Amino acid sequence: MSIIDYFARNIVPKMYRGKGAFHPAATGVLDFGVKCIREYDVNIFFIQEDRHLIAIDAGYRNYSKIMEKCNRIGINPANVTELFLTHVDPDHAGGLDCRYDSPFKNAKIYLGKLEENYLTNTWHRKKIGPIGLKNPVKIQNNYRLLEDGESVMLDDLKITSLLVPGHTLGHSAYIINDNLLFTGDSLALNDTGGYCFFDIFNLDSDLNKKSLEILKERINDYDIKAVFTSHNGWTKNVQHAFAHIDTIPTLSKEYPFDKTAPYDCFENP
Ligand SMILES: [Zn+2]
């Protein structure tokens, strides 16, 4: 097991218990035609439009309850036609790891152009002193890379990729049909609004804050109706989602980030 995998599976769950950092949406049907499943602390989102079933992110690798949870929302992951990765961390791209059976075996994969550098290990995911840690996810290289601002048209579905570097340097947000914004791990959200994502997981938090300022400006060109995060649920209040983007949340048991979050997401998968 790589150090990053070990950190994600063993350290994060213990370190973050009771601090309210993660509060993903429960597996179910949301609004605006969006469905989701919850895998521990993270969501995979699905949108169906005629011949296309798209997914945003792929969750953890070898996640044992994926079929059961997809069943509950009437989705067969093998029917996902296109899958858009916000970034390639193990909780978002692990489900595509080619050393395991992928539940999304028929999906065409899209990701931001710069994010590929973590798949090829050209860039390290994290540096601890002199040691550079590699991203542990391996996926087939028949994916398609997206430029910043590029839109993909799939019949009546329009998916626009926006580069939001900081959590990783190639992290993308996606806008579906000009009105649903998926922010991945750029944004943390609680009942007081959206914040810069938690510092410990970011490659460069200052860059993430700048990217969120730019994203806030860029979405003025769209009619955004809802904002979906990967680890903190979603909101229809778009202004609220950008309320504290210049602030990095501090996490403690005394002051949990989200008081309504599960004590430990990993205890109840
Ligand atoms: Zn994540």
Cα of 254 vs centre of ligand 1, distance in Å, is: 24
| pLDDT greater than 80 at residue 7 | no
Position 218 confidence tier, pLDDT thresholds 50, 70, 90: very high
Position 6 confidence tier, pLDDT thresholds 50, 70, 90: confident
| pLDDT greater than 80 at residue 99 | yes
In a domain, 263, yes or no: no
In a domain, 224, yes or no: yes
Closest CA to 60 of 106, 28, 23, 97: 97
Task: Provide the 8-state DSSP code for 207.
Answer: H
pLDDT at 76: 97
Looking at the 3D structure of the chain, how many domains does it have? 1
In a domain, 179, yes or no: yes
End-to-end Cα, the chain, rounded Å = 21
pLDDT at 57: 98
Say how far apart CA 206 and CA 202 lie, in whole Å.
9
Cα of 139 vs centre of ligand 1, distance in Å, is: 17
| pLDDT greater than 90 at residue 4 | no
Cα of 202 vs centre of ligand 1, distance in Å, is: 10
pLDDT at 268: 72
Say how far apart CA 116 and CA 86 lie, in whole Å.
11
In a domain, 128, yes or no: yes
**What are the residues whose beta carbons fall under 8 Å from the beta carbon of 260, sequence distance 6 or more?**
20, 23, 191
In a domain, 254, yes or no: no
Cα of 16 vs centre of ligand 1, distance in Å, is: 14
In a domain, 82, yes or no: yes
* CATH assignment of the domain containing 109: 3.60.15.10
Cα of 8 vs centre of ligand 1, distance in Å, is: 9
Question: Domain range holding 18?
Answer: 3-241
Cα of 164 vs centre of ligand 1, distance in Å, is: 14
Cα of 171 vs centre of ligand 1, distance in Å, is: 11
Cα of 45 vs centre of ligand 1, distance in Å, is: 13
Cα of 66 vs centre of ligand 1, distance in Å, is: 17
Cα of 28 vs centre of ligand 1, distance in Å, is: 19
